[in-house]
Structure 1
Amino acid sequence: MRKVLVIGYVWPEPRSSAAGSRMLELLGVFRGEGWHVTFASAAALSSHRADLSELQIEEVAVALNCDSFDGFVAQLQPDLVLFDRFFTEEQFAWRVERAWPTALRVLDTSDLHCLRDTRHALLKANQQACANETERYQVGPVQATPQVLYEVMADSDMAQREVAAIYRCDLTLMISSFEMALLQEHFGVPAALLHECALMLIPPTHNALPFAERQHFLSIGNFRHAPNWDAVLWLKHALWPLIRARLPQAQLHVYGAYPPPKATALHNPKQGFHVLGWVDDAHRVMAQARVCLAPLRFGAGIKGKLADAMACGTPSITTPIGSEGMHGELPWPGSVAADAHAFADAAVQFYQDEDRWAQAQQQGHVLLDSRFERGRLGEALIARLEELLMNREQHRRGNFIGAMLRHHQHKSTQYMSQWIAAKNAATTQKTEG
């Protein structure tokens, strides 16, 4: 039986974010193979976290900058260690390599953080030329080419850290075909170090509610995720006024985990703008809505909200950022718009046109079946991991840059961590004395 250690940046919250859903899917794939899975995290526990015991997954709380982690790994002797995002790799990978070097080291990026960060910076730069707040809200989504993105990203600290982490690992799971191409064509990352593993989604609901039994627009997303909060602001100040002017009775329901006071302050029933916050079952409200709005001006990865919309048979209006890496040559189940007026036009059209709406609903089912089929994606992932487990040494010999980066980068990380651990130990000893 294979033993897998997953080191989470946070405890998975599948009802709060797409990242949480993705993590639960990965854990389910491992357990489906009969593998023994241990999930460890240094994060604080949350009330919305998944009950991993239902999957017979052992939960272990670990500490940052503490040598006790080394003993834990040496005792567990995992075949594979999965790092949840690159910050976790930076904190723990050198300890894993020191304590149990034979373990396959796999990174799950969730999405490419440096890409999201760069697009956010470009959006802010585009807004700086605006004379006032009203004009800033009219700025559309970032549409920089891969070459421009690379030129901005190449000098950033986050890109250098994240790409270094990708090189240091035996394999990195990528969620988006766009990000796969960006890494290979512009950053020179070898294909042997990457594996495209999109969200492994629930199958579509083919008996979804029809047009006449649905009402309202819906927007959903964790408020702690910067692209989602920006989307709410763009909706409130630029998009919804355009839609509401043409559909005076329309209602928009905005859902999402962890809404801050500044978000709930936007709630205005007279304008049809309802900030409703946390919802226990996102699929239930998505399946009752007529149209999903996802006006993302920046971001990265694959958008769970749009995948959920397809699964629930709900057409979606989004931006090129939102649809990126999701549909390939297949038509989008709704509309992709690059500016405020085009977005509002599409939202109104799909809300009123039953034939276009029904066609989009069917296109969503086709897209899920074609590109996000859970069984096929899971089997491909397991096959790739088994291949690497069988040929680990040969694979590592072909990644000299990764070995070089581990030698240098991990030394500085290691010494800093050991200094903190020694300082903490001395403080504890002094307190007890």
Structure 2
Amino acid sequence: MNLPSTTKVLVIGYVWPEPRSSAASGHVMQILETLLQQGWDITFSSPAGPGEHKADLAALGIREVPIELNNSSFDTFISELAPDIVLFDQFMMEEQFGWRVEQHCPRALRVLETSDLQSLRHARHQRLKDRLKLNPDQNDFSDLFAPALSDEYALMAQSDLAKREIAALYRCDLNLMISEVEIKLLTEQFGVPAQLLHWCPLMIDPPVAEPAAIAGRANFLSIGNFRHAPNWDAVLWLKTTIWPLIRQQLPQAQLHIYGAYTPPKATALNNAKEGFHIMNWAEDALQVMSAARVCLAPLRFGAGIKGKLVDAMLCGTPSVTTPVGAEGMHGRHAWPGAITQSAVDFANRAVALYNDEAQWQQARSAGYALLTERYPQSVHGPALTEKLRYCQENLEQLRVTNFTGSMLRHHSHKSTQYMAQWIEAKNRQPQETSDM
């Protein structure tokens, strides 16, 4: 296959990127920046309206094109653009636009950026709900944090969401996976061919400047987009159980909770007397992280890897989290802080890190080692572009060997196509009026 001199990439985003609001958007931006470094021509499109903290893609040289769901105007748009690579941001965009891409640009490489396995996150959320119904105790969640991959599969396989999401993985030529644990789950339990998956974690090089020492820092910090259910659940666990335990040992301790799109139910939790402060959105997340002494991330469910914890390492801020929070993030390396399974242990480890300078310094050093080993953009960026080029050069053979994907495209895209065409036709019908 003769590759074009300048590769044209179309990204179809579920939302417009907001890298200062979510790790998922941050990952998308890292991918875009990697492709820009290759001199590739990039167009970003989305059916969503612009969010409050939308990144200025045009300033980076990326064209911004709004698109519509269930509208044949997209067919004209993509035919004229004729991209070499189409990157779907989240599987719902592949469901909506995949058949149109295949119909009008059959030779375009179709890539899915997953951010995390949504069906895994939803299954774990349901497991937490079931656990709390059977046992309302808010302390020990060790039974929740240690399922075998076969147990994860058994729970996920019952859901329509998993069937939709994994079908989308098969229909694409390549899927970017942020977590090695999720790759293992897909290959060992769901039987997804390894050639369809590429490990592409957050891509961050260690800082050059030395962050502030412990003496120049104060307070605990928790951060995360409030629209993301795991983050809201973590705030509730902090409020009801963990923070009171920390305050018993540190009566003057202060916790600052930052997050985009703060709802009234979160603002209502603010209590200055308890040192529990809802701070809304952080204009500069790295700045507030660098000023904090310890980052708290008591995640009871979730998937993917956690941008807030990578930010903590980048800022030299030790963190306390759960096995879900640390999943897929540290490999064989020590965690830069503590991983706990109960509220009591979480509080004790947080207090110890806050008070013990030697322990705090050791955790900070572990964070730098982890960043250097697992997350350098200088490693993962070239690996990504090399994989994309390989898939372009071997596209025909890759599709021949992915018969399941071909079969799913044949059946699913036909039904999606007919539904989309029916919706478009219905929307075009003039509204009936009545004199009654």
Q: CA deviation at 1:222?
A: 0.2
Distance 1:136 1:260 in 2: 26
Structure 1: gaps spanning 5 or more residues? none
Q: CA deviation at 1:424?
A: 1.3
Distance 1:261 1:175 in 2: 32
TM-score by structure 1 length? 0.97
Cα contact 2:111–2:172 (8 A) shared by 1: yes
Aligned residue number for residue 141 of structure 2: 140
Distance 2:182 2:104 in 1: 32
Distance 2:284 2:150 in 1: 40
Deviations 1:29-64 (A, max 9, x none): 111100000000000112210000121000000000
| Pair 1:262–1:139, CA change in 2 (3 A) | farther
Aligned residue number for residue 365 of structure 1: 368
Distance 1:111 1:136 in 2: 29
> Is the partner of 1:345 in helix, strand or coil?
helix
1:333 partner amino acid? P
- Say if 2:77 is the partner of 1:76: no
Cα contact 2:140–2:341 (8 A) shared by 1: no
Aligned residue number for residue 101 of structure 1: 106
> Is the partner of 2:251 in helix, strand or coil?
coil
Deviations 1:300-339 (A, max 9, x none): 0010000000000000000000000000010000000011
Q: CA deviation at 1:156?
A: 0.7
Distance 2:103 2:159 in 1: 29
Please point out which of 211, 233, 245 is paired with 2:236: 233
Distance 1:81 1:255 in 2: 34
2:73 partner amino acid? S
1:73 partner amino acid? I
1:16 partner amino acid? S
- Say if 2:115 is the partner of 1:110: yes
> Is the partner of 2:430 in helix, strand or coil?
helix
Structure 2: gaps spanning 5 or more residues? 1-5
Deviations 1:220-274 (A, max 9, x none): 0000000000000000001000001000011000000011000000000100000
Q: CA deviation at 1:129?
A: 1.4
Cα contact 1:204–1:368 (8 A) shared by 2: no
Cα contact 2:84–2:109 (8 A) shared by 1: yes
- Say if 2:236 is the partner of 1:217: no
- Say if 2:96 is the partner of 1:91: yes
Cα contact 1:206–1:313 (8 A) shared by 2: no
Q: CA deviation at 1:392?
A: 0.6
Aligned residue number for residue 411 of structure 1: 414
Aligned residue number for residue 10 of structure 1: 15
Please point out which of 288, 297, 301 is paired with 2:300: 297
> Is the partner of 1:189 in helix, strand or coil?
coil
Distance 2:11 2:51 in 1: 18
Aligned residue number for residue 195 of structure 1: 198
Cα contact 2:46–2:67 (8 A) shared by 1: yes
TM-score by structure 2 length? 0.96
> Is the partner of 1:105 in helix, strand or coil?
strand
Runs of 4+ in 1 over 6 A off after TM superposition: none
Superposition CA RMSD, Å: 1.1
Q: CA deviation at 1:425?
A: 1.8
> Is the partner of 1:427 in helix, strand or coil?
coil
Aligned residue number for residue 252 of structure 1: 255
Please point out which of 51, 58, 66 is paired with 1:53: 58
Aligned residue number for residue 43 of structure 1: 48
- Say if 2:336 is the partner of 1:325: no
Cα contact 1:80–1:103 (8 A) shared by 2: yes
Q: CA deviation at 1:202?
A: 4.5
Q: CA deviation at 1:145?
A: 1.8
1:350 partner amino acid? L
1:177 partner amino acid? E
Aligned residue number for residue 169 of structure 1: 172
Distance 2:9 2:52 in 1: 25
Distance 1:322 1:332 in 2: 11
Aligned residue number for residue 26 of structure 1: 31
Distance 1:137 1:278 in 2: 28
> Is the partner of 2:42 in helix, strand or coil?
strand
Q: CA deviation at 1:20?
A: 1.0
Aligned residue number for residue 277 of structure 1: 280
Distance 2:329 2:68 in 1: 37
Aligned residue number for residue 428 of structure 2: 425
Aligned residue number for residue 267 of structure 1: 270
Distance 1:206 1:72 in 2: 45
Aligned length: 426
2:261 partner amino acid? Y
Q: CA deviation at 1:204?
A: 2.9
Q: CA deviation at 1:358?
A: 0.3
Please point out which of 125, 141, 159 is paired with 1:120: 125
Deviations 1:136-187 (A, max 9, x none): 5446363222111101111210111000000000000000000000000000
Q: CA deviation at 1:426?
A: 2.1
Q: CA deviation at 1:348?
A: 0.5
Q: CA deviation at 1:371?
A: 0.1
Distance 1:319 1:152 in 2: 21
Cα contact 1:216–1:252 (8 A) shared by 2: yes
